[in-house]
Amino acid sequence: MKVKVADDKGHKLVRLFWRIVLDVKLLFLTFMMIFFISGAIYVLSSTYPMLNDILKASPTTPWGIVTSLFVHEGLEHLAFNMAGLFAFFFLFSVTQLHLSKQEVEKRVSLFLIAMFLMAIFSNILWTTLVPQASTAGSSGLVFASEGIFMGFTLLNGLQIMDLFKDEWRGRKRLMAIYLCNLAIFGVLFVQIVFAPQVFLNVAPAVNAFVHGVSFLGSFFLTFFWSLYRTLRSKGRLKPSS
């Protein structure tokens, strides 16, 4: 009997794993693309040191607003960014499990669009405001993904108000999911308020400006996207013709 219970739990975990993978497959395919392109550039730059300078974002290398997202100064820089990116991709995936496949796919699309959009925008802003300096690294993508993740944890958590309006005792699992989302948002918010330098990873040779712009831009983009969808679903906004 105990073996059967253990097998059932094992099967549930396997099904849960495959649901995560299949629902957000585009997210992890994007991660693999970023990982392999960044890795290839890192290997090539060890043979051709000038490659990094060519691909960095600067006024003299305007294409760098995109290519710099895959350039890293060393193995530690590369590993740190890839680990951070994977962590937020995974955490985002797990915190959307209570949603339908269609809703998850819409959020994944926003995630990827907002992540690249804000990372590129922050590079444009940096090269415009600080033309004498260049910038490189995937950290803009990392902080943008963190902003999107944090935005959705807040939006998910606020849905707990709907449970209080209705009978929630039979929906304890959903209550637990919403509370978990709120707890995650709370931990990150406390760090932002009381230790912003730690949150933005402020340090010598670290572009905290890009970190901040990518994070804030993606967070508010996520919020207003959700607000627009909510108002439209309630009939307060008419779809554009």
Whole-number pLDDT of residue 176: 84
pLDDT in tens, 164-202: 666 555 577 788 888 899 999 999 999 999 999 999 999
Residue 235 pLDDT grade (very low, low, confident, very high; cuts 50, 70, 90): low
Whole-number pLDDT of residue 177: 85
Given a cut of 50, is residue 241 above it in pLDDT?
no
SS3 135: strand
pLDDT in tens, 59-74: 999 999 999 999 999 9
Whole-number pLDDT of residue 10: 57
Q: What percent of the chain has pLDDT over 90?
A: 64
pLDDT in tens, 192-203: 999 999 999 998
Whole-number pLDDT of residue 230: 74
Given a cut of 70, is residue 240 above it in pLDDT?
no
Whole-number pLDDT of residue 234: 66
Q: Which of 112, 147, 140 is nearest to 126 (CA)?
A: 140
**List of domains in the chain:** 2-233 (1.20.1540.10)
d(CA 27, CA 182): 23
Higher pLDDT residue, 90 or 14? 90
d(CA 177, CA 148): 18
SS3 240: coil
Secondary structure tally for the chain: helices H, strands E: 11, 0
Whole-number pLDDT of residue 232: 79
